[in-house]
Chains A and B, each alone.
Chain A
Amino acid sequence: MLRLSDFEKAKCLMNCEVARLLEHKSEQYKQMSNDSNNHTSQVFEKSLQYVKRFRRFSNQDAVKQLALLGNLCPETLDEAISVIPTLKTKGRLTMDSIEKLVNDLSMIKKFE
């Protein structure tokens, strides 16, 4: 079992979310690169490479859809499609898999 102590109130991040954050930061650093002091640390570079390699969702839309599903926790398939319309239009998931996802989420909520 993971004992998170300090981190109990911390927000866990998915690799794809971290990838987006670090890529944005990387852009900022590049823009400020007139000042030679601003090079990224090895920790930053290694982390960026890692999350880019191991993120399961490169598509920004998929990341947003996932985050929304997690935050809103729709109870039924219909609710999910109405609050996140792009699930139907841009989503690569079938109706069955969305339904399963929604059911699993409510299971997790019940037994929290």
Chain B
Amino acid sequence: MFFHIVLERNMQLHPRYFGRNLRDNLVSKLMKDVEGTCSGRHGFVVAVTGIENVGKGLIRDGTGFVTFPVKYQCVVFRPFKGEILEAVVTMVNKMGFFAEAGPVQIFVSNHLIPDDMEFQSGDMPNYTTSDGSVKIQKDSEVRLKIIGTRVDATEIFCIGTIKDDFLGVINDPATI
């Protein structure tokens, strides 16, 4: 799910950036450093939306760098265990399928796909019900439930299920 939160970070700035544009330089460095990163606690920082507060700069001993504590608002994406969300299928194989929801990758194992769906290999590997009415293949949109998350250095990886009620392929009303 996406959240709008306030985070704080200590930014170090080289003296060459001091002067009229100090604040602008600080803000662009912040955005460059932080956007696109991921932490276990906050999830992916997608975009910085505003600066709340820049604290007083502290000169580091021995170097000319100055540290500024910056409070900023940002949009983050953080998946939670138990959360239900929609994702796009990116790869299907006999172990299950991979899906993506924004920056997050989710794996749904074949054990957590309803028993009436069978794996079909071929050009477009897919999972299909016995009557052929429901099909999961690359680029299908599915609603799944996150049952576990794992945080890496640079990304969050999730395990999901579509075995519960109201989960599975999303029927686009426009196509009915």
> A and B, one complex?
yes
Interface of A is mostly: helix
Q: Which secondary structure dominates chain B's binding surface?
A: strand
Give Cα distance in the complex from A112 to B12, angstroms: 44
The answer to whether B101 touches A6, judged by C-beta atoms less than 8 angstroms apart, is no
Known contacts A2-B83, A37-B32: does B5 contact A43 (CB below 8 Å)?
no
- In the complex, the answer to whether A12 meets B36 with C-beta atoms within 8 Å is no
Chain A: CB-nearest residue to B85: A54
Instruction: Please report the C-alpha to C-alpha distance between residue A18 and residue B1 in the assembled complex, in whole angstroms.
Output: 10
Asked if B75 and A22 make an inter-chain contact with CB atoms under 8 angstroms apart, the answer reads yes
User: In the complex, how many residues of chain A place their beta carbon closer than 8 angstroms to a beta carbon of chain B?
Assistant: 29
Partner of A46 from B38, B47, B103 at Cβ < 8 Å: B103
User: Which range contains the number of B residues in contact with the other chain?
Assistant: 20 to 34
CB of B103 within 8 A of CB of A43, answer yes
B102 adjacent to A47 (CB under 8 Å): yes
Which listed residue, A3, A21, A50, touches B75 by the CB 8 Å rule? Answer: A21
Would B80 and A4 count as touching, CB distance under 8 A?
yes
Q: Is B49 an interface residue (CB 8 A)?
A: yes
Given the contacts A22-B46, A44-B46, A50 and B102 also touching, CB distance less than 8 Å: yes
How far is A4 from B47 in the complex, measured between Cα atoms in Å? 21
| Number of A-B residue pairs at CB separation under 8 A | 80
B3 touches which of A3, A13, A22, A43 (Cβ 8 Å)? A13
Instruction: Specify which chain B residues have a CB less than 8 angstroms from the CB of A13 in the assembled complex.
Output: 1-4, 75
Q: A43-B38, A53-B88 are in contact. Are A18 and B83 (CB under 8 A)?
A: no
Fill in one digit per residue for B73-107: 1 if any A CB lies within 8 Å of its CB, else 0.
Answer: 00101101111001010000000000011110000
Q: Please give, as numbers and ranges, the residues of chain B lying within 8 Å of A4 by CB-CB distance.
A: 80
Is B20 on the interface with A (CB-CB < 8 A)? no
Is A11 in contact with chain B by the CB < 8 A criterion? yes
What are the 10 closest A-B residue pairs judged by CB atoms, nearest first? A41-B36, A50-B102, A13-B2, A43-B36, A43-B103, A47-B102, A10-B3, A11-B4, A10-B5, A47-B46
Interface residues of B (CB under 8 A from A): 1-5, 32, 35-38, 41-42, 44-47, 49, 75, 77-78, 80-83, 86, 88, 100-103, 141
